[in-house]
A and B are shown apart, each in its own frame.
Chain A
Amino acid sequence: MIVADQKDITEIIAMTEGYRNILVIGCDTCVTVCLAGGAKEVAILASGLRLAAKASGRQVEVHETSIERQCEKEFVDALHSAVKGQDLLISTGCGIGVQTIAEQFPQIPVVPALNTKMLGLPERQGVWVERCQACGQCILDKTGGICPISRCSKSLLNGPCGGSQNGKCEINKDIDCGWHLIYERLKALGRLACLEEIMPAKNWSTSRDGGPRKVIREDMCL
């Protein structure tokens, strides 16, 4: 899922400077699961903004709402009546949510309350870890189901660099060496021979490097 966390409240307060009618919009999908932008976080943020406005003597109305998915226009359309009369929208959705709202309501400024971090999984309560960089060309079949693009700090494709020690990455002793994990997994599967092959230079054009990406499913198009 998409993992995000909330910006420092002072940064969000600064974004509201000069606005009187503010709507904080939550999203009930990924950011609710990662406890960053669901209805509960919207409520906390909205009261924080009200307190800040009061403390600085500003006349501000802060409203709250949440929708199922900020990333889909159909859901965002449902905001029409709530948006009426607002002069600032604060999205607690991921970066896609913020942009969908901006596209649907071009006449009202929308600002992000979150920093969208990564595609990851909840490792344990309160801890999320990156597992995919959406590079557009999956090689997990060759690497024992562990992604070297996201889990090796250098995104190497042919094994661990010289800095791997005791199973940890050279940049931080708390980070697992992705290639060490791959090695151990393939060893357990009896597939170490996979690592003897040279993995060729990657085609990054399916990643960020190919420009803004678009997926078209002809069979699904109306």
Chain B
Amino acid sequence: MKAGSRLEQLLTRGEFVATAELGPPKSADIQLIKRKAEILRGFADAVNITDNQTAIVRVSSVAAGKIALDEGLEPIIQMTCRDRNRLAMQADILGAYVLGLRNLLCLSGDHQSFGNHPQSKNVYDLDSIQLVQMFKNMRDEKVFQCGEEIRNTKKSEIMEPRMFLGVAANPFGDPFEFRVVRLAKKIKAGADFVQTQCIFDLPKFKRWMQMVVDQGLHEKVYILAGIMPIKSPKVLQYMKNNVAGMSIPDELIRRMEGAKDAKAEGVRICVELIQQAREIPGVRGVHIMAVEWEEIVPTIVKDAGLWPRPQVG
């Protein structure tokens, strides 16, 4: 075991895992974190705590993660390269670890021009691959990025943060052929698990997975397929036109438009996608991204036949 988190234990055991997402509030509203945690408890093996999602300021992922942990969830702390340099990132992983957090997802982060501080100065001291490499070296080589051992004095004991490390992969970004190379680089850098961009274009995802399997990458990393429940055809259309790196088939938009109850249809699509993704060789779980619609996660998990969730220890 690298970190011994519940997520790591279940994946190692061969369980088909389900992770979800908890977006921290845009205010100091601790109750919102607790309410979302209450909804998700028992329905996800681990929960991503987003980090200034879409470059909008929110409660920090480490702080919200600690609250979620106290509420009985297992958090996956997200960390973007946009807002911190290597000093802050290493300080935050030490901080997350001492608070009992055991999973961390390394991301480049959406550019700040999308968020509520477009005039801010971004950082990007490291990229996501260098970030996962730095954290892996902290865990396995027990050294900081500068090469110094992780201890207070030369005589004191080495105490490294031990995290199960995740990365994101977008099978729909361009250049398409490079996406598998990029995943291979992330694995080489030290990724233990991967959560993909949300999948609407199943054939393209299958093509990508085939390339992943052909290179044997699925045996080196646990791949969780990203799934997003959609409330209306308008949302899908918006994402198709405005969200970079998404592939959304028109057929899916037409299906949503034709539905009497769009929300229910969105859930049905989501459940079907989970079931189809489960059949794809190399897929070891799903990551359900119900952005600001956490209440739907229990229904999806139940309808997809993924409930109750397995226990550990």
Chain A contact residues, CB within 8 Å of chain B: 153-171, 177, 180, 183-184, 192, 195-196, 198-202, 204
Structural contact, B111 and A171, CB atoms closer than 8 A = yes
Q: B residues near A, CB below 8 A?
A: 81-82, 86, 108-111, 113-114, 122, 124-130, 133-134, 145, 168-170, 172-175, 178, 181-182, 184-185, 188-189, 197, 244-246
Residue of B109, B113, B127, B170 contacting most chain A CB atoms (<10 Å) = B127
A-B contact pairs, 25 of them (CB 8 A): A153-B113, A154-B81, A154-B111, A154-B122, A155-B124, A157-B130, A159-B129, A161-B128, A161-B173, A162-B108, A162-B169, A163-B170, A164-B245, A165-B246, A167-B174, A170-B244, A171-B113, A180-B174, A183-B175, A184-B175, A196-B184, A196-B185, A200-B130, A201-B130, A202-B125
Structural contact, A195 and B174, CB atoms closer than 8 A: no
Bound CA–CA A140/B119 (angstroms)? 29
A201 and B189 CA atoms in complex are apart in Å by 12
Chain B neighbourhood of A195, CB < 8 A: 178, 181
Given the complex, which residues of A lie within 8 Å of B169, measured CB to CB?
162
Once the chains are docked, how many angstroms separate the CA of A204 from the CA of B245?
A: 29
Contact of A201 among B110, B126, B174 (CB under 8 A): B126
A165, B197: Cα distance in complex, Å: 13
The residue on A at minimum CB distance from B189 is: A198
A156 near B181 with CB under 8 A, answer no
B124 touches A170 (CB 8 A): no
Contacts of B178 in A (CB 8 A): 159-160, 183, 195
A199 / chain B contacts, CB cutoff of 8 Å = 130
Inter-chain CA distance A157–B189, complex, in Å, is 13
A163 and B173 form a contact (CB under 8 A): yes
Q: Are B127 and A157 in contact (CB under 8 A)?
A: yes
B169 to chain A, nearest CB (A): 8
B124, A162: Cβ atoms under 8 Å?
no
Using CB atoms, name the residue of chain A closest to B129: A158
If A154-B111, A170-B244, A171-B111 touch, does A160 touch B174 (CB 8 Å cutoff)? Answer: yes
* Residue among A160, A162, A167, A183 with most chain B CB within 10 A: A162
A154→B82 CA distance, assembly (Å):
8
Min Cβ gap B220→A in Å is 15
Given A154-B108, A180-B174: A164 and B127 interface contact (C-beta under 8 Å): no
List the B side residues contacting A153 at CB < 8 Å: 111, 113
Closest residue of chain B to A156 (Cβ to Cβ) is B127
Distance from A149 Cβ to chain B, minimum over Cβ atoms (Å): 10
Closest Cβ of chain A: how far from B140's Cβ, in Å?
15
Given A171-B113, A200-B130, do A161 and B174 touch, yes or no (CB 8 Å)? no
Q: How far is the CB of B127 from chain A (nearest CB, A)?
A: 4
Question: In the complex, which of the residues A156, A157, A204 has the most CB atoms of chain B within 10 Å of its own CB atom?
Answer: A156
**Which listed residue, B86, B129, B170, touches A198 by the CB 8 Å rule?**
B129
Bound CA span A192–B114, Å: 31
A165-B244 in contact (CB<8A): yes
Q: Which residues of B contact A180 (CB under 8 A)?
A: 174-175
* Set A159, A162, A163, A171: member contacting B181, Cβ < 8 A: A159
Residues of A contacting B127 in the complex (Cβ-Cβ under 8 angstroms): 154, 156-158
Collect the chain B residues with CB atoms within 8 Å of residue A171's CB.
111, 113-114
Minimum CB distance partner of A197 in chain B: B185
A162→B86 contact, CB < 8 A = no
* Chain A residue nearest in CB terms to B108: A161
Residues of A within 8 Å of B111, CB to CB, are 153-154, 163, 170-171
Question: If A157-B127, A161-B108, A198-B129 touch, does A170 touch B245 (CB 8 Å cutoff)?
Answer: yes
B245-A162 in contact (CB<8A): yes
User: A160-B178, A164-B174 provided; 11 other pairs, C-beta below 8 A?
Assistant: A158-B128, A162-B245, A163-B110, A163-B111, A164-B245, A168-B244, A171-B111, A200-B130, A201-B86, A201-B125, A201-B145
Q: Which of B82, B178, B182, B189 has the most CB of A within 10 A?
A: B178
